[in-house]
Copies of this chain bind each other. A is one copy, B any other.
Amino acid sequence: MSGVSLLAYADRLCDSGRAVGDLTTLRKLLAGELSVLTGVHVLPFYTPYDGDDAGFDPVDHATVDPRLGTWDDVRAIAAHTEVTADIIVNHVSAHSAEFVDWLERGEASAHDGMFLTFDTVFPHGATEADITAFYRPRPGVPFTPYRARDGRRRLVWTTFMPSQVDIDVRHRAGIAYLEGLADTLAAGGVTTVRLDAVGYAVKTPGTDSFMTPDTLAFVAQAAEIIRARGLRVLVEVHAHYSQQLAIAPLVDLVYDFALPPLLLHSLGTGRTDRLAHWLGIRPANAVTVLDTHDGIGVIDAGPGAGLPGLLTEEEMAAVFARAADATGGHSTLASVTPTWASMPHQINATFFSVLGGDTWRMLLARAVQAFVPGEPQFYYVGLLGGLDDRDRFAATGQGREVNRHRYTREELDRALATPVTRGQLALAALRRHAVFGGAFSWSQPDEASLELVWRSAAEGGTPTHEARLLARFDEPDFTITLDGAEVPLDG
Protein backbone atom coordinates (compact mmCIF):
# COMPACT_ATOMS: atom_id res chain seq x y z
CA MET A 1 0.00 0.00 0.00
CA SER A 2 1.51 3.34 -0.99
CA GLY A 3 0.55 6.65 0.51
CA VAL A 4 -0.76 7.52 3.93
CA SER A 5 -3.73 5.91 5.63
CA LEU A 6 -6.14 7.31 8.18
CA LEU A 7 -6.85 5.80 11.59
CA ALA A 8 -10.34 6.74 12.72
CA TYR A 9 -13.50 5.79 14.54
CA ALA A 10 -16.53 5.68 12.25
CA ASP A 11 -18.64 7.50 14.83
CA ARG A 12 -16.34 10.39 15.73
CA LEU A 13 -16.31 12.38 12.51
CA CYS A 14 -19.82 13.74 12.17
CA ASP A 15 -21.75 15.03 9.24
CA SER A 16 -23.49 18.38 9.38
CA GLY A 17 -26.36 18.38 11.87
CA ARG A 18 -25.50 14.89 13.15
CA ALA A 19 -24.28 14.13 16.66
CA VAL A 20 -22.67 10.83 15.67
CA GLY A 21 -20.75 9.90 12.56
CA ASP A 22 -21.16 6.72 10.51
CA LEU A 23 -19.53 4.75 7.71
CA THR A 24 -21.25 6.85 5.05
CA THR A 25 -19.85 10.09 6.50
CA LEU A 26 -16.41 8.48 6.64
CA ARG A 27 -16.67 7.31 3.02
CA LYS A 28 -17.63 10.81 1.86
CA LEU A 29 -14.71 12.36 3.74
CA LEU A 30 -12.28 9.87 2.22
CA ALA A 31 -13.71 10.59 -1.24
CA GLY A 32 -13.67 14.34 -0.58
CA GLU A 33 -11.55 16.45 1.75
CA LEU A 34 -9.32 13.51 2.69
CA SER A 35 -9.06 11.93 -0.76
CA VAL A 36 -5.30 12.32 -0.68
CA LEU A 37 -5.24 9.45 1.84
CA THR A 38 -5.00 5.99 0.26
CA GLY A 39 -6.14 3.78 3.10
CA VAL A 40 -8.18 3.75 6.25
CA HIS A 41 -8.10 1.71 9.41
CA VAL A 42 -11.64 1.93 10.72
CA LEU A 43 -11.52 1.26 14.46
CA PRO A 44 -13.97 -1.43 15.60
CA PHE A 45 -17.35 -0.86 13.98
CA TYR A 46 -18.85 -4.09 15.27
CA THR A 47 -21.88 -4.33 17.54
CA PRO A 48 -21.67 -2.29 19.69
CA TYR A 49 -19.04 0.25 18.69
CA ASP A 50 -19.49 2.08 21.99
CA GLY A 51 -19.10 -0.56 24.71
CA ASP A 52 -16.92 -0.37 27.82
CA ASP A 53 -13.77 -0.39 25.67
CA ALA A 54 -14.94 1.69 22.70
CA GLY A 55 -15.53 -1.19 20.29
CA PHE A 56 -12.83 -3.51 21.60
CA ASP A 57 -15.43 -5.42 23.59
CA PRO A 58 -17.77 -6.62 20.84
CA VAL A 59 -20.99 -8.36 21.70
CA ASP A 60 -21.34 -9.44 18.06
CA HIS A 61 -18.01 -9.22 16.32
CA ALA A 62 -19.46 -10.43 12.99
CA THR A 63 -21.99 -7.65 12.46
CA VAL A 64 -21.57 -3.97 11.67
CA ASP A 65 -23.24 -1.85 14.34
CA PRO A 66 -26.46 -0.79 12.60
CA ARG A 67 -25.98 2.76 13.92
CA LEU A 68 -22.82 2.97 11.79
CA GLY A 69 -24.04 1.19 8.68
CA THR A 70 -23.76 -2.25 7.07
CA TRP A 71 -21.15 -4.46 5.46
CA ASP A 72 -22.23 -2.84 2.16
CA ASP A 73 -20.98 0.50 3.55
CA VAL A 74 -17.64 -1.10 4.43
CA ARG A 75 -17.43 -2.55 0.91
CA ALA A 76 -18.29 0.88 -0.53
CA ILE A 77 -15.27 2.38 1.25
CA ALA A 78 -13.12 -0.56 0.18
CA ALA A 79 -14.01 0.08 -3.46
CA HIS A 80 -11.77 3.17 -3.46
CA THR A 81 -9.62 2.95 -0.32
CA GLU A 82 -7.64 0.13 1.26
CA VAL A 83 -9.49 -0.92 4.42
CA THR A 84 -7.89 -2.24 7.60
CA ALA A 85 -10.14 -3.70 10.29
CA ASP A 86 -9.58 -5.33 13.65
CA ILE A 87 -9.96 -8.86 14.79
CA ILE A 88 -10.23 -8.78 18.55
CA VAL A 89 -8.67 -12.14 19.19
CA ASN A 90 -7.95 -12.04 22.92
CA HIS A 91 -11.41 -11.43 24.27
CA VAL A 92 -15.06 -10.72 23.64
CA SER A 93 -17.77 -8.99 25.62
CA ALA A 94 -19.31 -10.84 28.54
CA HIS A 95 -22.61 -9.87 26.92
CA SER A 96 -21.81 -11.78 23.74
CA ALA A 97 -24.24 -14.52 22.74
CA GLU A 98 -21.42 -17.05 23.02
CA PHE A 99 -20.53 -16.20 26.62
CA VAL A 100 -24.13 -15.84 27.73
CA ASP A 101 -24.93 -19.23 26.21
CA TRP A 102 -21.96 -20.82 27.95
CA LEU A 103 -22.96 -19.38 31.34
CA GLU A 104 -26.48 -20.62 30.64
CA ARG A 105 -25.76 -24.12 29.37
CA GLY A 106 -22.22 -24.92 30.48
CA GLU A 107 -20.81 -28.07 28.95
CA ALA A 108 -23.90 -28.43 26.76
CA SER A 109 -23.08 -25.11 25.06
CA ALA A 110 -21.59 -25.15 21.57
CA HIS A 111 -19.18 -22.56 22.93
CA ASP A 112 -17.94 -24.65 25.84
CA GLY A 113 -14.16 -24.33 25.83
CA MET A 114 -14.14 -21.00 23.99
CA PHE A 115 -13.56 -19.03 27.21
CA LEU A 116 -10.47 -19.20 29.33
CA THR A 117 -11.09 -19.98 33.00
CA PHE A 118 -8.79 -20.08 35.98
CA ASP A 119 -8.86 -23.89 36.05
CA THR A 120 -8.03 -24.10 32.32
CA VAL A 121 -4.85 -22.13 32.99
CA PHE A 122 -4.13 -23.77 36.36
CA PRO A 123 -5.63 -27.25 36.36
CA HIS A 124 -3.81 -28.08 39.60
CA GLY A 125 -4.37 -24.76 41.36
CA ALA A 126 -2.15 -21.70 41.67
CA THR A 127 -0.05 -19.98 44.27
CA GLU A 128 0.66 -16.31 44.76
CA ALA A 129 3.79 -16.59 42.60
CA ASP A 130 1.84 -18.31 39.81
CA ILE A 131 -0.85 -15.64 39.80
CA THR A 132 1.44 -12.64 40.08
CA ALA A 133 3.71 -13.85 37.28
CA PHE A 134 1.32 -12.53 34.63
CA TYR A 135 2.12 -9.38 32.72
CA ARG A 136 -0.94 -7.32 32.09
CA PRO A 137 -1.86 -3.84 30.96
CA ARG A 138 -4.39 -3.05 33.70
CA PRO A 139 -4.37 -2.88 37.48
CA GLY A 140 -5.56 -5.85 39.54
CA VAL A 141 -5.65 -9.56 38.82
CA PRO A 142 -6.50 -10.94 35.36
CA PHE A 143 -9.66 -12.86 36.21
CA THR A 144 -13.21 -12.03 37.22
CA PRO A 145 -15.91 -14.02 39.00
CA TYR A 146 -18.99 -15.00 37.02
CA ARG A 147 -21.87 -17.23 38.02
CA ALA A 148 -23.16 -19.90 35.67
CA ARG A 149 -26.87 -20.62 35.41
CA ASP A 150 -26.49 -23.88 37.37
CA GLY A 151 -25.04 -21.87 40.27
CA ARG A 152 -21.47 -22.91 39.55
CA ARG A 153 -19.04 -20.12 40.23
CA ARG A 154 -16.41 -19.50 37.58
CA LEU A 155 -13.31 -17.38 37.50
CA VAL A 156 -13.02 -16.26 33.93
CA TRP A 157 -9.78 -14.90 32.59
CA THR A 158 -10.06 -11.14 31.89
CA THR A 159 -6.73 -9.67 30.81
CA PHE A 160 -8.24 -6.27 30.09
CA MET A 161 -11.55 -5.20 31.66
CA PRO A 162 -13.79 -7.43 33.80
CA SER A 163 -16.40 -7.25 31.04
CA GLN A 164 -13.91 -8.44 28.40
CA VAL A 165 -13.75 -12.22 28.76
CA ASP A 166 -10.68 -13.92 27.35
CA ILE A 167 -10.94 -16.44 24.56
CA ASP A 168 -9.03 -19.71 24.82
CA VAL A 169 -7.18 -19.30 21.53
CA ARG A 170 -5.73 -22.78 21.83
CA HIS A 171 -9.11 -24.49 22.05
CA ARG A 172 -10.80 -25.53 18.81
CA ALA A 173 -13.82 -23.37 19.75
CA GLY A 174 -11.51 -20.33 19.98
CA ILE A 175 -9.86 -21.17 16.65
CA ALA A 176 -13.25 -21.65 14.98
CA TYR A 177 -14.26 -18.20 16.24
CA LEU A 178 -11.13 -16.66 14.69
CA GLU A 179 -11.71 -18.46 11.38
CA GLY A 180 -15.29 -17.23 11.22
CA LEU A 181 -14.19 -13.64 11.79
CA ALA A 182 -11.53 -13.84 9.09
CA ASP A 183 -14.17 -15.11 6.64
CA THR A 184 -16.51 -12.28 7.59
CA LEU A 185 -13.88 -9.55 7.16
CA ALA A 186 -12.71 -10.91 3.80
CA ALA A 187 -16.30 -10.90 2.57
CA GLY A 188 -16.63 -7.34 3.83
CA GLY A 189 -13.92 -6.00 1.52
CA VAL A 190 -11.27 -5.66 4.20
CA THR A 191 -7.73 -6.17 2.89
CA THR A 192 -5.67 -5.93 6.08
CA VAL A 193 -6.55 -7.46 9.42
CA ARG A 194 -5.16 -5.95 12.57
CA LEU A 195 -4.76 -8.53 15.31
CA ASP A 196 -5.51 -6.60 18.47
CA ALA A 197 -3.56 -7.17 21.70
CA VAL A 198 -2.24 -10.49 20.46
CA GLY A 199 0.75 -10.39 22.82
CA TYR A 200 -1.53 -11.39 25.71
CA ALA A 201 -3.50 -14.09 23.92
CA VAL A 202 -1.68 -17.21 25.14
CA LYS A 203 -1.37 -17.97 28.86
CA THR A 204 1.53 -20.20 29.83
CA PRO A 205 1.89 -20.91 33.56
CA GLY A 206 5.41 -20.39 34.82
CA THR A 207 5.97 -17.45 32.46
CA ASP A 208 4.67 -13.89 32.39
CA SER A 209 2.51 -15.07 29.45
CA PHE A 210 3.36 -12.04 27.34
CA MET A 211 5.07 -12.58 23.99
CA THR A 212 6.37 -16.00 24.94
CA PRO A 213 7.43 -18.63 22.39
CA ASP A 214 3.86 -19.94 22.73
CA THR A 215 2.57 -16.50 21.76
CA LEU A 216 4.78 -16.39 18.67
CA ALA A 217 3.59 -19.86 17.65
CA PHE A 218 -0.02 -18.71 17.98
CA VAL A 219 0.66 -15.53 15.99
CA ALA A 220 2.11 -17.64 13.18
CA GLN A 221 -0.97 -19.90 13.29
CA ALA A 222 -3.38 -16.94 13.30
CA ALA A 223 -1.48 -15.31 10.43
CA GLU A 224 -1.83 -18.49 8.42
CA ILE A 225 -5.58 -18.60 8.99
CA ILE A 226 -5.98 -14.96 7.95
CA ARG A 227 -3.64 -15.06 4.95
CA ALA A 228 -5.48 -18.13 3.68
CA ARG A 229 -8.42 -15.71 3.15
CA GLY A 230 -6.25 -13.39 1.03
CA LEU A 231 -5.82 -10.83 3.80
CA ARG A 232 -2.68 -9.16 5.11
CA VAL A 233 -1.90 -9.46 8.82
CA LEU A 234 -0.94 -6.48 10.97
CA VAL A 235 -0.04 -7.37 14.52
CA GLU A 236 -0.49 -5.00 17.43
CA VAL A 237 2.02 -5.56 20.20
CA HIS A 238 3.17 -2.91 22.61
CA ALA A 239 6.44 -4.39 23.84
CA HIS A 240 10.17 -4.13 24.04
CA TYR A 241 11.60 -3.49 20.57
CA SER A 242 13.30 -6.88 20.53
CA GLN A 243 9.85 -8.45 20.76
CA GLN A 244 8.66 -6.38 17.80
CA LEU A 245 11.69 -7.55 15.87
CA ALA A 246 10.91 -11.16 16.76
CA ILE A 247 7.34 -10.98 15.56
CA ALA A 248 7.91 -8.90 12.40
CA PRO A 249 9.05 -11.83 10.21
CA LEU A 250 5.98 -13.88 11.15
CA VAL A 251 3.45 -11.44 9.79
CA ASP A 252 2.94 -8.87 7.02
CA LEU A 253 3.10 -5.81 9.21
CA VAL A 254 3.94 -4.72 12.75
CA TYR A 255 3.69 -1.23 14.22
CA ASP A 256 6.67 1.02 14.72
CA PHE A 257 5.55 2.14 18.16
CA ALA A 258 9.10 3.14 19.09
CA LEU A 259 9.15 6.02 16.63
CA PRO A 260 6.86 8.45 18.54
CA PRO A 261 8.70 8.31 21.90
CA LEU A 262 12.02 8.55 20.06
CA LEU A 263 10.78 11.63 18.21
CA LEU A 264 9.58 13.14 21.49
CA HIS A 265 12.97 12.37 22.99
CA SER A 266 14.76 14.07 20.08
CA LEU A 267 12.45 17.07 20.21
CA GLY A 268 13.00 17.32 23.95
CA THR A 269 16.77 16.87 24.00
CA GLY A 270 17.74 18.22 20.59
CA ARG A 271 19.72 15.03 19.93
CA THR A 272 19.15 12.42 17.23
CA ASP A 273 21.43 9.59 18.33
CA ARG A 274 18.63 7.40 19.76
CA LEU A 275 16.51 7.92 16.68
CA ALA A 276 19.42 7.20 14.36
CA HIS A 277 20.14 3.98 16.22
CA TRP A 278 16.55 2.87 15.69
CA LEU A 279 16.68 3.70 11.97
CA GLY A 280 19.50 1.23 11.72
CA ILE A 281 17.67 -1.71 13.26
CA ARG A 282 13.94 -1.16 12.86
CA PRO A 283 11.81 -3.55 10.81
CA ALA A 284 10.77 -2.09 7.46
CA ASN A 285 7.44 -3.94 7.32
CA ALA A 286 5.93 -1.50 9.76
CA VAL A 287 2.92 0.75 10.00
CA THR A 288 4.37 4.02 11.30
CA VAL A 289 2.43 6.17 13.72
CA LEU A 290 2.81 9.23 15.91
CA ASP A 291 -0.44 8.86 17.79
CA THR A 292 -3.17 6.24 17.97
CA HIS A 293 -6.50 5.82 19.77
CA ASP A 294 -4.50 4.26 22.64
CA GLY A 295 -2.45 7.39 23.27
CA ILE A 296 1.29 7.65 22.74
CA GLY A 297 2.90 4.31 23.53
CA VAL A 298 6.13 5.09 25.32
CA ILE A 299 6.88 1.66 26.76
CA ASP A 300 7.93 0.37 23.33
CA ALA A 301 11.11 2.46 23.38
CA GLY A 302 12.00 1.63 26.96
CA PRO A 303 13.87 -1.19 28.69
CA GLY A 304 12.05 -4.49 29.07
CA ALA A 305 12.28 -8.26 28.77
CA GLY A 306 15.47 -7.93 30.86
CA LEU A 307 17.11 -5.88 28.12
CA PRO A 308 18.07 -2.22 27.77
CA GLY A 309 15.70 -0.06 25.77
CA LEU A 310 16.12 2.37 22.92
CA LEU A 311 15.67 4.93 25.70
CA THR A 312 16.75 4.48 29.30
CA GLU A 313 14.18 4.52 32.10
CA GLU A 314 15.37 8.05 32.97
CA GLU A 315 14.92 9.20 29.39
CA MET A 316 11.42 7.72 29.32
CA ALA A 317 10.63 9.49 32.59
CA ALA A 318 11.82 12.72 30.97
CA VAL A 319 9.50 12.13 28.00
CA PHE A 320 6.62 11.76 30.48
CA ALA A 321 7.76 14.82 32.42
CA ARG A 322 7.88 17.01 29.30
CA ALA A 323 4.44 15.75 28.27
CA ALA A 324 3.16 16.64 31.74
CA ASP A 325 4.77 20.04 31.42
CA ALA A 326 3.23 20.73 28.03
CA THR A 327 -0.23 19.70 29.24
CA GLY A 328 -0.12 21.52 32.57
CA GLY A 329 0.06 18.18 34.40
CA HIS A 330 -3.00 16.75 32.68
CA SER A 331 -1.21 13.88 30.95
CA THR A 332 -0.07 12.58 34.34
CA LEU A 333 -3.64 12.67 35.58
CA ALA A 334 -4.98 10.85 32.53
CA SER A 335 -2.30 8.17 32.21
CA VAL A 336 -2.59 4.81 33.98
CA THR A 337 0.21 2.81 35.58
CA PRO A 338 -0.41 -0.96 35.28
CA THR A 339 0.05 -3.28 38.23
CA TRP A 340 3.73 -4.18 38.10
CA ALA A 341 4.95 -1.18 36.13
CA SER A 342 6.87 1.83 37.42
CA MET A 343 5.38 4.21 34.88
CA PRO A 344 2.43 4.29 32.48
CA HIS A 345 2.66 2.38 29.20
CA GLN A 346 1.13 5.26 27.31
CA ILE A 347 0.88 9.00 27.52
CA ASN A 348 -2.78 9.86 27.50
CA ALA A 349 -2.68 13.14 25.64
CA THR A 350 -2.91 14.14 22.01
CA PHE A 351 0.38 14.30 20.16
CA PHE A 352 -0.28 17.94 19.33
CA SER A 353 -0.91 18.77 23.02
CA VAL A 354 2.34 17.10 24.00
CA LEU A 355 4.07 19.38 21.50
CA GLY A 356 2.40 22.38 23.10
CA GLY A 357 0.23 22.94 20.03
CA ASP A 358 3.30 23.94 18.00
CA THR A 359 2.46 23.45 14.32
CA TRP A 360 6.01 23.37 13.05
CA ARG A 361 7.15 20.73 15.54
CA MET A 362 4.09 18.63 14.69
CA LEU A 363 4.90 18.84 10.98
CA LEU A 364 8.54 18.00 11.69
CA ALA A 365 7.45 14.82 13.49
CA ARG A 366 5.01 13.92 10.72
CA ALA A 367 7.65 14.57 8.05
CA VAL A 368 10.04 12.14 9.73
CA GLN A 369 7.21 9.62 10.02
CA ALA A 370 6.35 10.07 6.35
CA PHE A 371 9.98 9.53 5.29
CA VAL A 372 10.67 6.48 7.46
CA PRO A 373 10.17 3.20 5.55
CA GLY A 374 6.83 1.52 6.10
CA GLU A 375 3.19 2.47 5.78
CA PRO A 376 2.43 5.80 7.48
CA GLN A 377 -0.83 6.07 9.35
CA PHE A 378 -2.25 9.38 10.61
CA TYR A 379 -4.66 9.23 13.53
CA TYR A 380 -7.60 11.54 12.94
CA VAL A 381 -7.03 13.59 16.10
CA GLY A 382 -3.39 14.25 15.20
CA LEU A 383 -4.27 14.95 11.58
CA LEU A 384 -6.86 17.48 12.70
CA GLY A 385 -4.49 19.15 15.15
CA GLY A 386 -6.62 18.10 18.10
CA LEU A 387 -5.77 19.20 21.62
CA ASP A 388 -6.67 17.23 24.76
CA ASP A 389 -10.39 16.72 25.18
CA ARG A 390 -10.39 17.25 28.93
CA ASP A 391 -14.17 17.40 29.16
CA ARG A 392 -14.44 13.93 27.70
CA PHE A 393 -11.90 12.64 30.23
CA ALA A 394 -13.74 14.32 33.08
CA ALA A 395 -17.08 12.92 31.93
CA THR A 396 -15.89 9.34 31.38
CA GLY A 397 -12.98 8.97 33.81
CA GLN A 398 -11.17 7.18 30.95
CA GLY A 399 -7.72 8.65 30.34
CA ARG A 400 -7.59 7.64 26.70
CA GLU A 401 -10.70 9.65 25.94
CA VAL A 402 -8.62 12.85 25.97
CA ASN A 403 -7.35 11.70 22.61
CA ARG A 404 -10.67 10.56 21.12
CA HIS A 405 -12.55 13.75 20.43
CA ARG A 406 -15.80 13.55 18.49
CA TYR A 407 -15.69 16.21 15.76
CA THR A 408 -18.77 18.04 14.58
CA ARG A 409 -18.84 18.98 10.93
CA GLU A 410 -18.10 22.58 11.92
CA GLU A 411 -15.05 21.60 13.98
CA LEU A 412 -13.88 19.43 11.10
CA ASP A 413 -14.17 22.31 8.63
CA ARG A 414 -12.25 24.61 10.96
CA ALA A 415 -9.53 21.98 11.47
CA LEU A 416 -9.18 21.30 7.73
CA ALA A 417 -8.31 24.97 7.21
CA THR A 418 -5.50 25.07 9.82
CA PRO A 419 -1.84 25.00 8.82
CA VAL A 420 -1.20 21.91 10.96
CA THR A 421 -3.80 19.89 9.04
CA ARG A 422 -3.02 21.37 5.62
CA GLY A 423 0.64 20.58 6.19
CA GLN A 424 -0.07 16.98 7.09
CA LEU A 425 -2.29 16.53 4.04
CA ALA A 426 0.51 17.97 1.91
CA LEU A 427 2.85 15.35 3.39
CA ALA A 428 0.29 12.67 2.58
CA ALA A 429 0.10 13.92 -1.02
CA LEU A 430 3.88 13.83 -1.30
CA ARG A 431 4.00 10.31 0.11
CA ARG A 432 2.01 9.02 -2.90
CA HIS A 433 4.93 9.87 -5.16
CA ALA A 434 6.56 6.86 -6.81
CA VAL A 435 9.95 7.78 -5.32
CA PHE A 436 8.81 6.29 -2.00
CA GLY A 437 8.77 2.92 -3.76
CA GLY A 438 12.48 3.32 -4.39
CA ALA A 439 15.54 2.95 -2.17
CA PHE A 440 15.82 4.51 1.26
CA SER A 441 18.96 5.83 2.91
CA TRP A 442 19.62 8.01 5.89
CA SER A 443 22.45 9.83 7.61
CA GLN A 444 23.09 11.87 10.73
CA PRO A 445 24.79 15.06 9.49
CA ASP A 446 25.34 16.18 13.08
CA GLU A 447 24.17 15.14 16.51
CA ALA A 448 21.04 17.31 16.25
CA SER A 449 20.04 16.39 12.70
CA LEU A 450 18.84 13.60 10.48
CA GLU A 451 18.69 13.35 6.75
CA LEU A 452 16.30 10.86 5.15
CA VAL A 453 16.48 10.22 1.42
CA TRP A 454 14.46 8.22 -1.10
CA ARG A 455 15.74 7.58 -4.63
CA SER A 456 14.12 5.78 -7.52
CA ALA A 457 16.41 4.47 -10.24
CA ALA A 458 15.75 5.34 -13.87
CA GLU A 459 13.96 2.45 -15.53
CA GLY A 460 12.68 2.51 -19.11
CA GLY A 461 11.14 5.92 -19.66
CA THR A 462 10.90 6.73 -15.94
CA PRO A 463 13.37 9.41 -14.83
CA THR A 464 15.34 9.24 -11.61
CA HIS A 465 13.66 10.89 -8.65
CA GLU A 466 14.90 11.96 -5.28
CA ALA A 467 13.00 13.03 -2.17
CA ARG A 468 15.00 14.39 0.74
CA LEU A 469 14.14 15.43 4.28
CA LEU A 470 16.63 17.34 6.37
CA ALA A 471 15.40 17.69 9.94
CA ARG A 472 17.10 19.26 12.93
CA PHE A 473 15.89 18.93 16.50
CA ASP A 474 17.88 21.41 18.61
CA GLU A 475 16.14 24.38 17.04
CA PRO A 476 13.39 22.38 15.44
CA ASP A 477 13.27 22.94 11.71
CA PHE A 478 13.15 20.92 8.52
CA THR A 479 13.13 21.16 4.76
CA ILE A 480 11.80 18.74 2.19
CA THR A 481 12.91 18.70 -1.39
CA LEU A 482 11.65 16.67 -4.33
CA ASP A 483 14.03 16.46 -7.24
CA GLY A 484 15.87 19.42 -5.78
CA ALA A 485 12.88 21.74 -5.40
CA GLU A 486 11.58 22.61 -1.95
CA VAL A 487 8.18 21.15 -1.17
CA PRO A 488 5.95 23.65 0.61
CA LEU A 489 3.65 22.30 3.35
CA ASP A 490 0.88 24.86 3.08
CA GLY A 491 -1.50 22.41 1.42
| Interface set of A (CB-CB < 8 Å, partner B) | 117-119, 122, 124-133, 139-141, 143-145, 147, 153-155, 162, 339-340
Assembled-state Cα–Cα distance A431/B303 (Å) = 70
Contact: B125 with A117, CB < 8 Å?
no
Nearest B-chain residue to A132, judged by Cβ: B153
Contact: B143 with A155, CB < 8 Å?
no
Assembled-state Cα–Cα distance A343/B339 (Å) = 31
Least CB distance, A117 to chain B, in whole angstroms: 6
In the complex, besides A126-B127, A141-B144, 9 extra interface pairs with C-beta distance below 8 angstroms are: A118-B128, A119-B127, A128-B153, A132-B155, A133-B153, A140-B140, A141-B145, A141-B155, A153-B340
Q: Is the interface of A mostly helix, strand, loop or mixed?
A: mixed
Assembled-state Cα–Cα distance A34/B49 (Å) = 56
> What residues of B have a CB within 8 angstroms of the CB of A153 in the complex?
128-129, 132-133, 340
Q: How many copies of this chain sit in the oligomeric assembly? A: 2
Contact: B117 with A128, CB < 8 Å?
yes
Assembled-state Cα–Cα distance A434/B143 (Å) = 58
Partner of A118, one of B118, B131, B133, B147: B131
Q: 9 A-B pairs, CB-CB below 8 angstroms? A: A118-B131, A119-B128, A125-B127, A125-B130, A126-B126, A128-B155, A132-B154, A133-B153, A139-B162
> What residues of B have a CB within 8 angstroms of the CB of A122 in the complex?
125, 127
> What residues of B have a CB within 8 angstroms of the CB of A118 in the complex?
127-128, 131
Nearest B-chain residue to A136, judged by Cβ: B145
Contact: A162 with B140, CB < 8 Å?
yes
Contact: B147 with A340, CB < 8 Å?
yes
> What residues of B have a CB within 8 angstroms of the CB of A132 in the complex?
145, 153-155
Least CB distance, A161 to chain B, in whole angstroms: 12
Nearest B-chain residue to A127, judged by Cβ: B125
Least CB distance, A292 to chain B, in whole angstroms: 27
Contact: A144 with B140, CB < 8 Å?
yes
Assembled-state Cα–Cα distance A383/B158 (Å) = 45
Least CB distance, A159 to chain B, in whole angstroms: 14
Nearest B-chain residue to A117, judged by Cβ: B128
Contact: A143 with B141, CB < 8 Å?
yes
Closest 9 CB pairs of A and B: A132-B153, A125-B125, A118-B128, A125-B127, A119-B128, A128-B155, A145-B339, A125-B126, A132-B145
